[in-house]
Structure 1
Amino acid sequence: MSLLGRDYNSELNSLDNGSQSPSESSSSITSENVHPAGEAGLSMMQTLIHLLKCNIGTGLLGLPLAIKNAGLLVGPVSLLAIGVLTVHCMVILLNCAQHLSQRLQKTFVNYGEATMYSLETCPNTWLRTHAVWGRYTVSFLLVITQLGFCSVYFMFMADNLQQMVEEAHVTSNICQPREILTLTPILDIRFYMLIILPFLILLVFIQNLKVLSVFSTLANITTLGSMALIFEYIMQGIPYPSNLPLMANWKTFLLFFGTAIFTFEGVGMVLPLKNQMKHPQQFSFVLYLGMSIVIILYILLGTLGYMKFGSDTQASITLNLPNCWLYQSVKLMYSIGIFFTYALQFHVPAEIIIPFAISQVSESWALFVDLSVRSALVCLTCVSAILIPRLDLVISLVGSVSSSALALIIPALLEIIIFYSEDMSCVTIAKDIMISILGLLGCIFGTYQALYELTQPISHSMANSTGLLIPPPLHLDVTSCDHHSALQQDPV
C-alpha cells in the first residue's frame, strides 16, 4: 500500500458521516491525500525534478518550427515574454491559494477550491450563489487538459516506436543529412499503441509523487541525453542567418502563439507539487529556478534549431536529424522520458476523479475502484488516440480553450476577485485585465485556427499541422512530420 501512496482508512474515516455532499467529500479527500506529513514530503530536488519534467514535453521538439512561424527576432523575444507571463500567472495562483488558506484557516487549497472560495467572497450575489461551479469548471478543464496531454503522449510514443522499428533496415552508422524516406509501414500505428498500453497502466498504479520522482529522474536523464545530442548536431556549422526573416507573417504568428503557450504545460502541477513539499515555503525558489531553466532551454533550442535548418525546419526537430543510429537514439531516449512524464500528467486528473469514485463505495472496495479507474482512464487516452485520426487538431481545439483559461485567464481574474477589497492598486488591476484579454485572444485565435484546419482537406492540414496524424499507407517519414500533437499546445 505504501507504493500506492494512499491510506484509505484515514481518508474514508475523514468523511463527515454523510454531512458533506459527494463533491465536498471528494475535495476533502484530495486535500488530505496530497498533503505531506513530516518526512513524507518532497525535497527541493525532488520537486525541481518533477517541475522540469512537467514542463519539458513533446512541445519542446516543435519550437524551431514555432520560431520559424514568428521570425528570428520576434520568435525568441515573444517566447521569452510568454514564458515570463506564464510564470507570473503561476505565482499569482500560488499567492491566491496561500491567501485563501490563511483566511479560511485551511492547510492549503487546490486550484478548484481556490476558485470556489474566491467566488464565495465576490460582491456579485449570483456568483456567490453558484461559487461551487467555479471548482467544477476548473476541475473539468484540468481533467480535459491533462488527459489530452496523455493522449498526445500515447501517439507520440507509438509513432516514434514505429519509425525506429520500420526504419531500422535503412538506418546506417554514418550520420549524413537526413533524406525523406518513403516506406510502407509493416504494422499499423495502433498496434504500437496497444503494445505500450499495459506498461502505462502499470506505471500509473504508482500514485506517490515521491516514488514517481525516481522515474522523473530517469526521464530527465534520458531527456537530457537526447537534448545533448540534438544540441551537439545543430551547433555544428550553423549558417549565417542573413536570409532568415526577423519577422514572419502574422498568420503564421498565430501558429507560433498556439505552440508557445501550450508548450508551458506545468500549470496543473504547481499547487500539487507545493502541497506535497516537505517545506512548502521553499517552492517559490524552486519555481523560479526550474522555470528559468525551462525558458532558457526553450529559447536556445528553438532559435538554434531554426538557424540550423532554416526553411527546411520540420514540425519536430527529430525529423531534421540524420538517419543514423546515433541520432535515432534521440527518439528512443525522448520517448522514454515522455513515457514517465505520462504518469506526472496523469496525476492531476486522477486526484480529481478517483477520490470522488472511492467515496461512493465501501472501504473494502476502495483499492479495487482506485486501480480500476486508473486503468480505465489510461485506456480512454489510448482509445482517443486510436479512434480520432485528427487528434492533433482536436486536442489543439480543446487546449486552446482549457489551457489559455487555466494558465492565463483564471489566475489573473482570481487575483482581482480576492484582493480587490484589500486596496488593490489600479496598476495591478490593469495588468490582470490585460493578461486575461491576452489569454482570451489566444483562446479565440487558437480555437479559430483549429476549427479552420479541421474543415480543410487532409492534404492541406498535413502541410500546416504541427500535430499528430496517423500516417497513410505509403508515407511513413513524410507524415511523421505531422505527428506531435503537443507541438500545437501542448494543450492543454
Structure 2
Amino acid sequence: MEEGQKAAPLLGAARDEERGRRRGGGATSAQTLGNVVVSIVGTGVLGLPYAFRTAGWVAGSLGVAAAGCATLYCMLLLVDCRDKLEEEEYEETCHGHYTYGDLGEKCFGTIGRWLTEILILVSQAGGSVAYLIFIGQNLHSVFSQLMSPAAFIFAILLPVQIALSFIRSLSSLSPFSIFADVCNVLAMAIVIKEDLQLFNHPFANRNAFNGLWAIPFTFGVAVFCFEGFSMTLALESSMAERRKFRWVLSQAVVGIIIVYACFGVCGYLAYGEATKDIITLNLPNSWSSAVVKVGLCIALVFTFPIMMHPIHEIVEARFQSSGCLQKLSQKVHSAEWLGLHSSRIVVVSILSVVASFIPAFGSFISFVGSTVCALLSFVLPTLFHLSIVGSSMSLWRRWLDYGFLLFGLAFAGYGIVTALLPH
C-alpha cells in the first residue's frame, strides 16, 4: 500500500471477469516478475531513509527484511487458499479464479467480503492520501516562494484530480503508471548518487540501533512499502505457468528487500539526523533534482486516478444500489450520471482535505502500514488459511499461522494506540 497498489482488480466487474477463467493467462515468468515489482514498489520507498534514521541502520535493515519475509509468507497463504478451493470445487462447479474478496466471503460469508473490501478501500485511500502529501511537499520544495504544500493540494491537485476522475477507462491512464515507475527508479538512482558523494565518513555519528521502541515505526513503514496484496491473486492467475508463481514471487520480494535495505542505509548514512521523511527533500537545489521532483509529481498526478479506481468502484456500487437514487433516476433522466460523478468529486475532495491536515509523510505511512496494512497483510491471510486449509495442515504450520495472526493483531493494536496517544 501503498502507492505500489495499482487499481486492485478484485472488486466489482474485475471479480466477475476473473471467475470466467479457470487456467492461467499468457504472462511469462519474466513479465510476471516485472509486474510484481511494479505492483509493490512505489513512492513509499522514499520514506525508508527516514525510518532508518528513527530505528538505526542495522535495526532498519532487519525491519525491512522481516517485513518482506512476513509479507511473502502471507502472500503465499492466499495462493494456497485459492489452490485448495479450486481443487475442491473444480470437478463440481469449475468455479474459476478466486479473488481476495471471494476468499473473505467463502470463509465468513457476506461479512467477510465486506470486511475485506473495506480494508482494501481504506488501504487504497491511505495510499492516495500519501500521493497527495508527497506531491504537495515536493512541489513546495521546488516552488517554495509560491505557496504552501496544502495550498498546492487545493489550488492545483484538487481541480486536476476532479477532472481526471471523470475518466473511467484505466487503459488510457496506464502509460502514466509506467512513467511513474520509471521516475521512481530515476529518483532512487539520483538519491543514491548524491548519497555516495557524501560518504566521507559514512558511519560517523550514525546509530546502528536506536532502541526497541523505534522498531515498530520502521516496520510499519516497511509494511506500507511492501503492501501489494490486492494484486497477488490477479498476478498469479495471469501467469501461463501458474505453478512457477511462488518461485517468481519469492525472487521478486528478495530482490526488493535488498534494494530497500540498501536505499534506506545509503540515505541515512549520507544525511544522518538531517534525513527528512521524504528523502527527495534532502536533494540539493539543482536542476537535476528539480526535474526528478517535478517528474515524480507529474507521474503521480496521472496515476492517482488508478489508485482511486477501487474506491470509486465500491462507492458507486453502494450508491447505485440505494433506493433513493433509483427513484430519482425515474424522475430525472440524468440523475444517475450526475450522482455518480458527484460522488467522485466528493471522495477526491475529502481525501484532499485529509492530506492537507497531515504534516508528516513518514509518520502517516507508518501508521497506515502498522494498522490497515497489517490487518490486510497478516491477519486476513492467516484467518483465511486456517479456515480453508487448516484441517489438512501439520501442527507446526497451524502454530505458525496463529503466530502471524496474533502478531498482526498486536501490531495493528499498537499502531492504533500509538496514534491516539498525545505526542
| TM band (smaller chain) | 0.7 to 0.9
Cα shift readout 1:27-51 (whole Å, capped 9, x = no counterpart):
774522566889xx78457765554
Paired with 2:27 and 2:44, the residues of 1 have a C-alpha distance of 27
Task: Name the CA shift for 1:37/1:161 in 2 (closer, same or farther; >3 Å).
Answer: farther
Within the candidate set 406, 409, 419, 1:440 is matched to 409
Paired with 1:164 and 1:74, the residues of 2 have a C-alpha distance of 32
What do you get for the CA RMSD once the two structures are aligned? 3.4
SS at match of 2:96: coil
Q: Following superposition of structure 1 onto structure 2, how do residues 186-201 of structure 1 map, counting pairs within 5 Å?
A: 186-194=146-154, 195-201=156-162
Contact kept? 1:49, 1:220, Cα under 8 Å: no
Contact kept? 2:55, 2:214, Cα under 8 Å: yes
Paired with 1:35 and 1:49, the residues of 2 have a C-alpha distance of 24
Paired with 2:408 and 2:282, the residues of 1 have a C-alpha distance of 32
Task: Name the CA shift for 1:241/1:391 in 2 (closer, same or farther; >3 Å).
Answer: closer
Q: Offset at 1:343?
A: 3.3
The runs of 5 or more residues in structure 2 that have no matched partner are 1-9
Paired with 1:36 and 1:328, the residues of 2 have a C-alpha distance of 47
Task: Name the CA shift for 1:344/1:43 in 2 (closer, same or farther; >3 Å).
Answer: farther
The runs of 5 or more residues in structure 1 that have no matched partner are 1-25, 120-130, 167-184, 457-492
Q: Offset at 1:142?
A: 1.2
Q: Which amino acid aligns with 2:419?
A: A
SS at match of 1:241: coil
Paired with 2:45 and 2:402, the residues of 1 have a C-alpha distance of 29
Q: Offset at 1:114?
A: 0.3
Q: Which amino acid aligns with 1:414?
A: F
Structure 2 match to 1:220: 181
Query: Does residue 1:115 correspond to 2:104, yes or no?
Result: yes
Task: Name the CA shift for 1:91/1:416 in 2 (closer, same or farther; >3 Å).
Answer: same
Q: Offset at 1:417?
A: 1.2
Task: Name the CA shift for 1:350/1:58 in 2 (closer, same or farther; >3 Å).
Answer: same
Paired with 1:210 and 1:425, the residues of 2 have a C-alpha distance of 44
Q: Following superposition of structure 1 onto structure 2, how do residues 196-345 of structure 1 map, counting pairs within 5 Å?
A: 196-207=157-168, 210-238=171-199, 239-241=201-203, 243-274=205-236, 277=238, 279=240, 281=242, 283-284=245-246, 287-345=249-307
Query: Does residue 1:135 correspond to 2:118, yes or no?
Result: no
Q: Which amino acid aligns with 2:270?
A: K
Contact kept? 1:92, 1:415, Cα under 8 Å: yes
SS at match of 1:353: helix
Paired with 1:49 and 1:367, the residues of 2 have a C-alpha distance of 37
Contact kept? 2:224, 2:368, Cα under 8 Å: no
Structure 1 match to 2:387: 417
Cα shift readout 1:265-298 (whole Å, capped 9, x = no counterpart):
22223234445x3748265455334433432221
Q: Offset at 1:331?
A: 1.7
Give the fraction of aligned pairs with identical amino acids, expressed as a percent. 29
SS at match of 2:403: helix
Q: Offset at 1:398?
A: 5.6
Task: Name the CA shift for 1:231/1:215 in 2 (closer, same or farther; >3 Å).
Answer: same
Cα shift readout 1:176-197 (whole Å, capped 9, x = no counterpart):
xxxxxxxxx5434333213122
Q: Offset at 1:433?
A: 1.3
Within the candidate set 136, 142, 164, 2:142 is matched to 164
SS at match of 1:421: helix
Contact kept? 1:396, 1:447, Cα under 8 Å: no
Task: Name the CA shift for 1:27/1:190 in 2 (closer, same or farther; >3 Å).
Answer: closer
Structure 1 match to 2:48: 63
Cα shift readout 1:6-33 (whole Å, capped 9, x = no counterpart):
xxxxxxxxxxxxxxxxxxxx97745225
Task: Name the CA shift for 1:392/1:293 in 2 (closer, same or farther; >3 Å).
Answer: closer
Paired with 1:156 and 1:312, the residues of 2 have a C-alpha distance of 18
Q: Which amino acid aligns with 2:311?
A: P
Cα shift readout 1:83-112 (whole Å, capped 9, x = no counterpart):
111122112112213433443432222222
SS at match of 2:197: coil
Task: Name the CA shift for 1:339/1:143 in 2 (closer, same or farther; >3 Å).
Answer: same
Structure 2 match to 1:87: 72
Contact kept? 2:127, 2:307, Cα under 8 Å: yes
Structure 1 match to 2:377: 407
Q: Which amino acid aligns with 1:342?
A: F
Q: Offset at 1:229?
A: 0.9
Contact kept? 2:40, 2:225, Cα under 8 Å: yes
Contact kept? 2:183, 2:295, Cα under 8 Å: yes
Q: Which amino acid aligns with 1:77?
A: L
Structure 1, 157-166 or 345-354: larger mean CA deviation: 345-354
Task: Name the CA shift for 1:294/1:112 in 2 (closer, same or farther; >3 Å).
Answer: same
Task: Name the CA shift for 1:224/1:91 in 2 (closer, same or farther; >3 Å).
Answer: same
Paired with 1:389 and 1:319, the residues of 2 have a C-alpha distance of 14
Cα shift readout 1:121-159 (whole Å, capped 9, x = no counterpart):
xxxxxxxxxx32111111111111111211221122122
Q: Offset at 1:395?
A: 7.0
Paired with 1:240 and 1:47, the residues of 2 have a C-alpha distance of 37
Structure 2 match to 1:150: 128
Paired with 1:213 and 1:43, the residues of 2 have a C-alpha distance of 17
Paired with 1:46 and 1:357, the residues of 2 have a C-alpha distance of 37
Q: Which amino acid aligns with 2:149?
A: I
Task: Name the CA shift for 1:207/1:387 in 2 (closer, same or farther; >3 Å).
Answer: same
Q: Which amino acid aligns with 1:199?
A: V
Query: Does residue 1:385 correspond to 2:385, yes or no?
Result: no
